[in-house]
Amino acid sequence: MTERLFEGADWDFRTLQRITDACEEVALKDLGLDVYPNQIEVITAEQMLDAYSSVGMPLFYKHWSFGKHFAYHEASYRKGLMGLAYEIVINSSPCISYLMEENTATMQTLVIAHAAFGHNHFFKNNYLFKQWTDADGILDYLDFAKTYVMQCEDRYGRVEVERTLDAAHALMSHGIDRYPGKKKLDLRAEEKRAGRRRQHEEEVFNDLWRTVPKGAAKSRTALSIERRRKLLGLPQENLLYFLEKSAPRLAPWQRELLRIVRHIAQYFYPQSQTKVMNEGTATYVHYRIMTKLHEQGRISDGNFLEFLGSHTNVVFQPEFDDPRFSGFNPYALGFAVMQDIERIVTRPEDEDREWFPDIAGKNDVMGVLRDVWANYRDESFIAQFLSPKLMRHFRMFHLHDDPEERAGIRVDAIHDERGFRRVRRELARQHDVGFIDANIEVVDVDLSGDRRLILHHHVIKGSQLNETDAKRVLQHLADLWTYDVALIEVDSNDKVMREYVVSPRPISAVA
Amino acid sequence: MPIHIIDRRLNPGGKSLENRQRFLRRAKSLVQGAVKKTSQERDIKDVLEGGEVTIPLDGMHEPRFRRDGGTRDMVLPGNKKFIEGDYLQRSGQGSAKDSGPGEGDSEDAFRFVLSRDEFVDLFLDDLELPDLAKRKIAQTESEGIQRAGYTTSGSPSNISVGRTVRLALARRIALKRPRKDEIEELEAAIAACTDEDERVMLLAQLEKLKAKIKRIPFIDPLDIRFRRFETVPKPVAQAVMFCLMDVSGSMSEHMKDLAKRFYMLLYVFLKRRYKHVEIVFVRHTDRAEEVDEQTFFYGPASGGTLVSSALQAMHEIVRERFNPSDWNIYAAQASDGDNSYSDGELAGMLLTDKILPVCQFFAYLEVGESGGSAFDLSDSSLWTLYERLRNSGAPLSMRKVSERSEIFPVFHDLFQRRETAQEKAAP
């Protein structure tokens, strides 16, 4: 029998080292995980509160809103309304995990398995994180941002910097590129491609084409609109990017601030798209590691029971009519799907073979899971892997609430043969960021007139912008743009539902 | 793969402090309003305690593009009895409806906890010491001693061993003083040496090294350094606060309570400005005595009223214990205004000649019965006396109070940044 990692609840730094080594052994050998180097930091409750207010990052630029969040968290923590997280993990290389000092030894093991191996593997391998984040550079970048903001404050005044940052923060949710941009072209490849194109033209040359009549030439105005839009890169849904590149009267440092906020928003973009998967992965990994350690006799029965207690709390899913219900718990849903995949891969039933022909009975659990973790995000993950069995287990049902409908809220589908696919499609849609965030884009600028910036909000299912907030955000936008800004809400038939026009406040016109 | 485990617990805390200060600065007017409101509900002795305040979130709102309304779809867990095509009542089955996200409007009031310091800072923010007092602080300085580097001469008790040894070491290295192990090595080589010529040569070398050691001392007088001290002027950071109160029978509990509240505020205020604040309680009827706080406020006493006795007592205490060049002296007198007519002359003289010249600030608070508007009809004897003094240029601040809620505004008035009373009082 192997030696116990620890006895009771106490731990010291040697224990942590032993725990980490043991977890690493299971994670790398048994689960085949691929992780960034780990850095584990033990922090106090107060430091945890600090981290909360700067979105979990170890360093961040200074801004009053973080102070507000800190005051808020602190107040609710002091009153006992809110517990603190056991850990925070940062998508960086080395991957930093913060552990709370008051965790018991069992909890530290759980947390190390969860964060330092589960999340860490996900960060390193999931395609969204690979595409959008630079784990090696993020800490340096934040350091740069912090210093830069500080220098700006020294040079241009705190109030000015604060105003720009306020505006940038208001637009943060619309400062994201949703699709990977055009890659910088390699010039040599470009030349080759041009050659190939010429060759192709020569091969398919036929003089007959010349005689085919062309359509009517485009009118002049249409051409100039097209040209203008092309010049400004319109339509553009990344509002911060557009302002950074095209706002006429911003100072260079203001552009840089917008850029910083935009980069940080982009860095967090994958996290918002993979909540269920990320937590599901980490929970599945800690469950496997803890179970293994217990099997090996390195964790005592008592400590394992303690683990099971907190694990059960983490994956608890209240039902919709429970007062504790507040939507799907990403831990519960994620973990359930991961375990279900394990079941489908190892012990499939006929239903599973029909629904998941690719993975049913494949027997290589970790292989399948690693592939899932690498190549999906919440939306596609749920759309692909939520099984009828799980829908029955959670007793899911789909409600359709149309305010026009007098009779009430319709139950659109339930967990039965007719409803499985519809419920699943709807749940996947709820996790689609493209669907959650309002679809707003810059469509035009009145260059020949008063330089008014024109935005469109494409209203989906009649859900319009909240008026007070929209006006405030637009005010910020107008202050940056320094000319009028118009936001037009159009429905799917291009019918205008509402129009906002906001003029910049005089004070920022000076800035 | 190497794993770093780092203990961050000892890192300096308060990383969010600056953000927090920015937040408070931004929300200043809101927070200040909240602080004033909170402090009105509190006992004055708890004023210092900090605590929770609630501010409207309006000015602190961080707007985002949010959507609401429209048709909504949601998938929920825990279906027990519904089948496809059922309708749920909107109002009755509220639970299903409430479960949507979009709780953005719920935090329109924002509660958070202010620390003691933050609370008092905001509480006293627009108050300032009277100008006169500030001038005095700048002038009344005393000498203090402070470390100031090293010197080559001084008393033996001030030798800085570390610095001396460091210099000696540097000198020894620079002059290439042979080290002990070099000599030992050489001696060992001589002992092991068989060749006579070489032995002689090594011996000569050893002699040379030994001579060099003698020439270059381990510690030279040149190396010795002494800690140097400098006297620096130090602003006086202590204050004494005299609480003078009439405790004759005409003072009711209510009046004493008013006075107490005023003293408390003054104490809090001084405590912010001075490291060390002492309080002297002097109560008087027709004779004055220094008492402890308990007796001051609650002890029974009876007799006539002679204000001059209290002033005399204060003057003596100052002379005995509080040298005006070392102490900032503040005095606050509370009385219902009664005084023997015969005493006016003496009190006025004591005040102008003895007390006011050494005081930073002298406040007179005339307390009246609650709802005592009769107050305004005729000025009391003491008020008349003080008013006459003030009109002839004495630096006196005076106010009348009859309601508990007036205490803070009065205090505020007395210490406001642009102090009208002080303009009059400026010599």
Sheet holding B4-7, edge to edge: A87-90, A95-100, A38-43, B4-7
Q: Residue B259 above 50 pLDDT?
A: yes
Count contacts between A and B (CB, < 8 Å): 267
In chain A, what percentage of residues exceed pLDDT 70?
Answer: 94
Q: Could you read off the pLDDT of A135-177 as tens digits, one per residue?
A: 888 888 888 888 889 989 998 888 889 889 999 999 988 888 8
Is residue B416 very low, low, confident or very high in pLDDT (cuts 50, 70, 90)?
Answer: low
Could you read off the pLDDT of B88-140 as tens digits, one per residue?
A: 877 544 444 443 333 344 445 667 777 777 777 776 665 555 544 444 444 44
**Whole-number pLDDT of residue A279:** 92
Give the tokens for residue A362.
């494949």
Q: How sure is the predictor about A113, in pLDDT bands with cuts at 50, 70 and 90?
A: very high
pLDDT score for B376 = 54
> What is the overall mean pLDDT for chain B?
75
Helix pair angle (A158-170, A138-156), 10° resolution: 130
Percentages of chain A per state (helix, strand, coil), in multiples of 5:
55, 10, 35
CA-nearest residue of chain A to B19?
A67
**Residues of A numbered 213-272 whose beta carbons fall under 8 angstroms of chain B's beta carbons: which are they?**
none
B98 neighbourhood in chain A, CB within 8 Å: none
Find the mean pLDDT for residues A258-281: 90
b/e B61-86 (16+ beta carbons within 10 angstroms → b): bbbbbbbeeeebebbbbebeebeeeb
Q: Do B86 and A413 touch (CB under 8 A)?
A: no
pLDDT at res. A510: 41
Amino acid symbol at A198: R
C-alpha–C-alpha distance, residues A97 and A211, integer Å: 69
What is the identity of the amino acid at B96? A
Nearest chain A alpha carbon to B69: A463
- Residues 432..491 of A with a Cβ closer than 8 Å to B: which? 437-438, 440, 457, 459-466, 468-470, 472-473, 476
Of residues A377 and A50, more confidence is placed in A377
Q: What is the pLDDT of residue A252?
A: 86
Residue A17 or B96, more confident:
A17
pLDDT surpasses 90 at A196: no
More confident residue, B178 or B126: B178
pLDDT at B420: 42
Cβ distance of B19 and A62 shorter than 8 Å: yes
pLDDT at B95: 41
Å between A156 CA and nearest CA of chain B: 17
Residue given tokens 């700048």 in the structure block:
B138
- pLDDT interval class at B87 (50, 70, 90): confident
Least confident of A105-109, A203-207, A346-350, B216-220: A203-207
Distance (Å) from the C-alpha of residue B2 to the closest C-alpha of chain A? 7
Report the phi/psi class of residue B238: left, alpha or beta, with left for phi > 0 and alpha for psi in -120 to 50.
beta
ipTM: 0.77
pLDDT of residue B48: 60
Tens digit of pLDDT for each residue in A386-421? 999 999 999 999 988 888 877 888 888 888 888 899
Residue A89 is classified by DSSP as E
- pLDDT at res. B395: 73
Q: Which residue from B251, B244, B242, B404 is spatially nearest to B338, judged by alpha carbons?
A: B251
Write down the pLDDT at residue A380: 92
Q: What is the pLDDT of residue B32?
A: 74
Is pLDDT above 50 for A300? yes
Residue of chain B with shortest Cα separation from A425: B75
Please answer yes or no on whether B9 and A42 come within 8 Å at the CB atom: yes
- Summarize pLDDT for B330-365 with one digit per residue, the tens: 888 888 877 777 787 888 888 888 888 888 778 888
Of B60, B63, B85, the CB nearest to A68: B60
> Is residue A278 pLDDT above 50, yes or no?
yes
At residue A406, the pLDDT reads 79
Tell me, yes or no, if A78 comes closer than 8 A to chain B by beta carbon: yes
Residue B159 per-residue DSSP state: B
Cβ neighbour number for residue A445 with a 10 Å cutoff: 21
Q: Is the pLDDT of residue B241 over 50?
A: yes
**Tens-place pLDDT, residues B280-298:** 888 888 778 888 877 777 7
* Mean pLDDT, rounded, for A305-328: 89
